[in-house]
Amino acid sequence: NAGVMQNPRHLVRRRGQEARLRCSPMKGHSHVYWYRQLPEEGLKFMVYLQKENIIDESGMPKERFSAEFPKEGPSILRIQQVVRGDSAAYFCASSDGQGNFGNTIYFGEGSWLTVV
Amino acid sequence: DAKTTQPTSMDCAEGRAANLPCNHSTISGNEYVYWYRQIHSQGPQYIIHGLKNNETNEMASLIITEDRKSSTLILPHATLRDTAVYYCIVRVAGGTSYGKLTFGQGTILTVHP
């Protein structure tokens, strides 16, 4: 039973380029979440998506960041015109959304973005 | 979400039980207590969760006080591979924000030989 799969694991981008991070949720999971961990800081929630819908994007920066979870294919976190401050680990997580309050959120191994 | 308070760091000898406390005195009746851990450079790993009863799985036990204002995560026989940052999280139940886990600073558990 494959877990949450993220790719690429490591990504280097020059300032001003675009970064695309992909996430395939666990089998049977229809809810996806993105978190960011800046160096020496804790994880911060960014966005919560279901298929074709953004449910909660209260943690997303207002500019340059977007996320999608299409009907087919992985969820994508897109960062346009990257700056050095975007260098961080980006974690995707998923859950099955069933059973009301007790369903568990499982995390992937992360994508490490370095902006040079 | 209710705020949690954890000690910054703890040590444990290999093979002994590690008891990690967490205070969540403002927890609401429909909020769960979740525990995750993060080993360096890896994603957070789910450990266990509970509402009001004590819980046990293959990784750990969770003891929640009767008033639910605090809990303790127990790793019964700690190994060197259990060295990690342990996060106690109170999770809002239902609504559009129920996927928003609030990670604090956690407890750095160091297991030594």
Q: Rounded to an integer, what distance in angstroms lies between the CA atom of residue B92 and that of residue A115?
A: 34
Residue with tokens 């997303």: A60
CA atoms within 13 A on the CB side of A59: 22
d(CA A34, CA B87): 18
Supply the pLDDT for residue A23. Answer: 98
pLDDT for position B11 = 97
How high is the mean pLDDT in each 10-residue block of chain B (113 residues)? 88 97 91 93 93 93 96 97 96 68 92 96
Residue B102, chain A, CB below 8 Å: the answer is yes
**A12-24 tens-digit pLDDT:** 999 999 999 999 9
Q: What is the dihedral of CA A22, A99, B3, B17, to 10 degrees?
A: -90
Measured CA to CA, the distance from residue B108 to residue B81 in angstroms comes to 13
Residues with Cβ within 8 Å of B103's Cβ and at least 6 positions away in sequence, in order, are: A35, A42, A43, A44, B36, B44, B87, B89
Which chain B residues touch A59 with a CB distance below 8 Å?
A: 100
Residue A53: closest C-alpha in chain B: B96
Q: Which of A5-9, A32-36, A41-45, B20-24 has the lowest mean pLDDT?
A: A41-45
Q: How far is CA B38 from CA A25, A109, B44, B102, B105, in A?
A: 19, 10, 4, 14, 11
Size of interface A-B (CB pairs under 8 A): 65
Best mutation site among A10, A43, A58 for testing chain B: the one with the most B CBs within 10 Å?
A: A43
Average pLDDT over chain A, rounded to an integer: 91
Predicted confidence at residue A98, as pLDDT, reads 59
d(CA B75, CA B15): 10
Kindly list the distances between the CA atom of residue A66 and the CA atoms of A4, A62, B31, B35, B84, in Å, as whole numbers in the listed order. 20, 9, 30, 29, 31
What local confidence, expressed as pLDDT, does residue B93 receive?
Answer: 64
Closest Cβ opposite residue B43 in set A45, A55, A108: A108
CB neighbours of B106 closer than 8 A, spacing ≥ 6? Answer: A42, B6, B38, B85, B86, B87, B88
What pLDDT does residue A101 have?
47
Asked if B96 lies within 8 A of A56 by C-beta distance, the reply is yes
The pLDDT assigned to A39 comes to 87
Residue of B32, B40, B101, B108 to mutate, interface with A, max A Cβ within 10 Å: B101
Query: Quick check: B46 and A107 CB within 8 A?
Result: yes
Tell if the CB–CB gap between B94 and A101 is shorter than 8 Å: yes
